[in-house]
Amino acid sequence: MSKAAAIFKKELKDTFKNKTILIQFLMFPALVPIMENAVRIDGMPENFFVKLFASMYIGMAPLTGMAAVISEEKEKNTLRVLLLSNVKPCEYLLGVGVYIWTACMLGAVVICAAGGYGLRGSLVFLSVMAAGILVSALIGAAIGVWSKTQMMATSVTVPVMMVLAFLPMLSMFNDSIAAVAKYTYSEQISILLNQIDAPRMEVSGVWVIAGNGLLAALLFAAVYRRRGLE
Amino acid sequence: MSYVIEAEDISLSLGKKQILDQISFRVGEGEIFGLLGPSGAGKTTLIKLLTGQLKQDAGYARLLGRDTGGLGAAEHSQIGVMMDDLGLYERLSVYDNLAFYADIYHISRGKIEELLESVGLYEARRRAVSKLSKGMKNRLSLARALMREGKILFLDEPTSGLDPVTTRQMHEILAGLKKKGVTIFLTTHNMYEAASLCVRVALLNEGKIIEQGRPGEICRKYNDLNLLRVTLKSGEEVLLKNSPASALRMREYLEQDAIWAIHSTEPTLESVFIELTGKEWI
Ligand SMILES: Nc1ncnc2c1ncn2[C@@H]1O[C@H](COP(=O)(O)OP(=O)(O)OP(=O)(O)O)[C@@H](O)[C@H]1O
Ligand SMILES: [Mg+2]
């Protein structure tokens, strides 16, 4: 087994015993089917909760998951022992990153199923989710690497998460927020998700997502060069 | 003798503080070498340096002939490290902690059971680490350090916080490893442990090695600390130098039948430390 795969497996075992992470992974996927079935208001758009919660899920789960796992391993010095065992930082980050991404994609599949999309719709939905989760995971990794303790990580993730997760919702009600929000990937993801059922999609938002992804990667690289995994 | 750990004139400052000051020593293959010093002396820092987790400002350190600044896979596979904070996954079980490292090292599952037996944790293998006692956690961390059967073990205070029985168990495990030819570098602030377990010790105080050698030799070197404590029948206690100069006084006491008990107070590593630093231990 490669070292990254061993780390993936360890994270999987740990998730079931780690309530904070588990809640992050499960909350929205569990809420979506319940809300879709329970709340029916006249004039409410089709799949309202699917789209709303999917974009909130992207802003929260990968970000907190990544930051919490990395910062905890730094704080408890388990990462130091791993690095002493000749595990390379890239192998570690790959193992954790792929795990968080996969776990969040499972959640995305559940949310997608609740939307009852057709094949094309589902593919678009999951591709958008895959890209969004990746960007969030990169930001979460940057926060995790920057933080020396889990407390430090939380104090950064909470505001970042709030902004990312609530921008799409706030911009529904406020035009000036919408004007700024359109440059963020979470808003563009929300816009894309809202067009899934439309006959023609306006895909220019993909460039914003890609640009945000590039920025997140650069942010991560800068933080990593500064702090390493020590 | 070939040396597996060598340190020469190592100095290190962190921030403005000098943590290690011109440290020199060598550890031969198969030795148990004890680094003995009070809290804050710099023991953990020195282990970090010897295992490549920190870099010294001056001097050199070598592990298996390789500069510790550039340890690679070959050297890492030859060392097992147990740090003072253990670095265990608290939510995972005893078994899963070792299984994870077995995956990392490509070691078979059979080896895990064998290791658990050898440190007496087989019965507790399904318990979450967070539910273990300090002694059990220490032994689990030791089991992980033993996993690759490396030539050198670094153990940072393997018996701190353990009761006498658990300490004895740990000593038996370490003595067994020494028989197999494993070199052990351990830190401790228990001088009895150092004296009974270690072939050689170094006394570390405020980042300096103030004395090193075989425990017995160190103690004999400070023989002038060797006193005779004579308790007289009157209840009075007299301290006499263990030297010919005291013969007359002793003879007087014996002739007067005044002696109730005589104790010799050979120097211990502790009294040597106190003599050299003027400080009480810890
Ligand atoms: N990262 C750091 N920055 C600055 N000072 C440090 C750092 N790490 C340790 N020190 C200082 O270095 C000194 C030696 O610390 P070290 O942990 O090596 O002591 P020790 O002998 O292992 O003590 P103990 O028996 O309590 O474990 C202490 O005074 C400590 O405050
Ligand atoms: Mg220490």
Q: Could you report the per-residue pLDDT of B182-196, keeping only the tens digit for each?
A: 999 999 988 888 888
Cβ neighbours of A95 (radius 10 Å): 22
B72 burial (CB, 10 Å; 0-12 / 13-18 / 19+) is exposed
Query: pLDDT of B89-116, one tens digit each?
Result: 999 999 999 999 999 999 999 999 999 9
**CA distance to partner chain B, nearest, from residue A102 (Å):** 20
pLDDT in tens, A112-165: 998 888 898 899 999 999 999 999 999 999 999 999 999 999 999 999 988 887
Question: What integer is the mean pLDDT of B251-276?
Answer: 85
Model pLDDT, residue B282: 53
**Is the model's pLDDT at B28 over the cut of 70?**
yes
Q: What total of structural domains would you count in chain B?
A: 2
- pLDDT for position B268: 81
Say what percent of chain B tops pLDDT 90: 49
Give the distance, in angstroms, between the CA of residue B234 and the centroid of all CA atoms in the same chain.
43
Q: How many of the other CB atoms lie within 10 Å of CB of B184? A: 23
Interior angle at CA A202, CA A198 and CA A203, nearest 5: 125
Asked if the Cβ–Cβ distance from A76 to B87 is below 8 Å, we say yes
User: Tokens 């490290």 correspond to what residue?
Assistant: B81
| Among B212, B237, B252, residue at a domain's last position | B212
CB B10 within 8 A of CB B49: yes
On whether residue B226 sits in a domain, the answer given is yes
Average pLDDT across chain A, whole number = 90
Band (B225; pLDDT cuts 50, 70, 90): confident
Whether B84 lines ligand 1, by a CB cut-off of 6 Å, is yes
A106, with CB counted inside 10 A (0-12, 13-18, 19+), is exposed
The H or E element that residue A49 is part of is helix A48-75
A194 compared with A221, residue with greater pLDDT: A221
> Per the domain annotation, does B1 fall within a domain?
no
Task: Give the per-residue pLDDT at B281.
Answer: 58
If pLDDT is split at 50, 70 and 90, which confidence band does B128 have?
Answer: very high
Residue B168 has pLDDT above 80, yes or no: yes
* More confident: B1 or A67: A67
Whole-number pLDDT of residue B247: 86
Say which of B83, B90, B92 has its CB closest to residue A81. B83
Is B41 near ligand 1, meaning CB less than 6 Å away?
A: yes
- How far CA B127 is from CA of A76, A216, B142, B169, in Å, comes to 19, 40, 17, 20
3-state secondary structure of A222: helix
Its domain, for residue B234, covers 221-277
Please report which confidence band the pLDDT of residue B255 belongs to, taking 50, 70 and 90 as the band edges. Answer: very high
- Give the pLDDT band (50/70/90) at residue A70: very high
pLDDT reading at B118 higher than 60: yes
Query: A interface mutation test: which of B63, B68, B88, B91 has the most A CBs within 10 A?
Result: B91
Out of A119-133, B197-211, B260-274, which region has the weakest mean confidence (pLDDT)? B260-274
Name the closest ligand to CA B21: 1
What is the distance of C-alpha B19 from the center of its chain? Answer: 19
Nearest to A229, CA basis, from A114, A124, A144: A144
CA B145-B151-B157 angle, 5° bins: 45
Domain boundary pick from B175, B193, B212? B212
N-to-C CA span, chain A: 25
Q: Helices (H), strands (E): how many in chain A?
A: 10, 0
pLDDT digits (tens, 9 = 90+) for A18-61: 988 898 888 888 888 888 778 777 777 778 888 888 988 998 99
Quick one: B170 and B38 in the same domain?
yes
A10 to B96: CB separation less than 8 angstroms, yes or no: yes
Q: What is the CATH number of the domain that holds B125?
A: 3.40.50.300
Q: Which of A184-188, B131-135, B238-242 has the lowest mean pLDDT?
A: B238-242
Structure tokens at B211: 């004395």
- Is any atom of ligand 1 closer than 6 Å to the C-beta of B44? yes
Closest-approach residue (CA) in chain B for A77: B87
What number is the average pLDDT over the span B206-231? 85
B63 belongs to a structural domain: no
Q: Do B92 and B205 reside in the same domain of the chain?
A: yes
- Chain A CB contacts of B51 under 8 Å are 84
B17 touches ligand 1 (CB under 6 Å): yes
The structure's pTM equals: 0.87
Residue B78 · residue B152 · CB < 8 Å: yes
Query: Are B206 and B260 in the same domain?
Result: no
* Contacts A77 to B, Cβ<8 Å: 83, 85-87
Q: Does residue B230 fall inside a structural domain?
A: yes
Q: Give residue B43 CA to ligand 1 midpoint distance, Å.
A: 8
Give the H/E segment covering residue B268.
none
B240 in the same domain as B208: no
Whether B235 and B136 map to the same domain: the answer is no
State whether B122 and B141 are in the same domain: yes
For residue B36, report the distance from its CA to the centre of ligand 1, in Å.
14
Q: For ligand 1, pick from B44, B86, B193, B273 the residue to mutate: most ligand atoms within 8 Å of CB.
A: B44
Tokens of B65: 């002939």
Residue B20 placed within a domain? no
Same domain? B206 vs B225:
no
- Decide: B205 in ligand 1 pocket, CB within 6 A: no
For residue A17, the chain B residues in CB contact (below 8 A) are 91-92, 128
56-115 of B, contacting A, C-beta below 8 A: 72-73, 76-77, 81, 83, 85-92, 96, 100-101, 103-106
Residue B130 domain-assigned (yes or no): yes
d(CA B138, CA B156): 10
Same domain? For B190 and B226 the reply is no
Q: Is residue B131 located within the same domain as residue B95?
A: yes
What residue ranges do the domains of chain A occupy? 2-227
Task: Determine whether the interchain pair B83/A77 forms a contact, defined as Cβ–Cβ distance below 8 Å.
Answer: yes
Report the pLDDT value the prediction gives residue B1, as an integer from 0 to 100. 63
Q: Which of B195, B212, B229 is the last residue of a domain?
A: B212
Q: Is residue B249 part of a domain?
A: yes
Residues B86 and B136 in one domain: yes
* Structural domain includes residue B113: yes
CB contact (8 A) between residue A84 and residue B91: no
The residues, any chain, with a CB within 8 Å of residue A186's CB and separated by 6 or more, are: A55, A58, A59, A132, A164, A165, A167, A168
Strands (E), B37-176: 58-63, 66-67, 79-82, 152-156
- The residue of chain A nearest to residue B144, with distances taken between CA atoms, is A81
